[in-house]
Amino acid sequence: MTQRVIVILGFILAAGLTTPYGSTGILPMPQAGSLCSRFSQAQGPSGQDLIKCLNCQSCHTVAGRGGKLGPDLDGVGQRLAPEAMKKLLVSPHGGMPNFAHLRPEELDAVVTYLSGLK
């Protein structure tokens, strides 16, 4: 599986195309305060909105749709406690990007949304 992904990414880069992570293979992270700027500052984005803005579905399946590189997020609320989710978001392992740049209320919104996926 890993070898197939590497071959596919190599082809994409050689063809001059980009991946969901840009040409460097690293997911570009929005600057603090600019995340999902289309949402009002008073209300802020919901966890579901943030999942979309952060391109989580590039690697993860959510509601039966999305990528297969990362674990399926459907049912994650049954597999992980909220604190474990938060820890994985700010100190990930594997190829997952770090989301420590999220404001506390954004991180809480993502964890609340993911906790509801049962």
Looking up residue 111, the CATH number of its domain turns out to be: 1.10.760.10
CA angle 40, 46, 49 (to 5 degrees): 95
Q: Residue 1 pLDDT more than 60? A: no
Reported as a single tens digit per residue, the pLDDT across 51-109 is: 999 999 999 999 999 999 999 999 999 999 999 999 999 999 888 999 999 999 999 99
Quick check: 98 and 90 in contact, CB under 8 A?
yes
Structural domain includes residue 37: yes
Query: For all residues of the chain together, what is the average pLDDT?
Result: 78
Quick check: 67 and 88 in contact, CB under 8 A?
no
Q: How confident is the model at residue 115 (pLDDT cuts 50, 70, 90)?
A: very high
Compute CA distances 59 → 32, 89, 104, whole Å: 22, 14, 23
Output the pLDDT for position 44. 75
Q: Where are the alpha helices (DSSP H) in 1-117?
A: 2-14, 47-53, 76-79, 82-90, 104-115
- Number of C-beta neighbours around residue 21 at 10 A: 16
Structural domain includes residue 22: no
Structural domain includes residue 14: no
Structural domain includes residue 52: yes
Structural domain includes residue 50: yes
Task: Name which residue leads in pLDDT, 9 or 57.
Answer: 57
Structural domain includes residue 108: yes
Structural domain harbouring 89: 32-115
Structural domain includes residue 106: yes
Output the pLDDT for position 31. 43
Structural domain includes residue 46: yes
Q: Helix or strand or coil: residue 85?
A: helix
Q: How confident is the model at residue 20 (pLDDT cuts 50, 70, 90)?
A: very low
Output the pLDDT for position 8. 55
The number of domains in the chain is 1
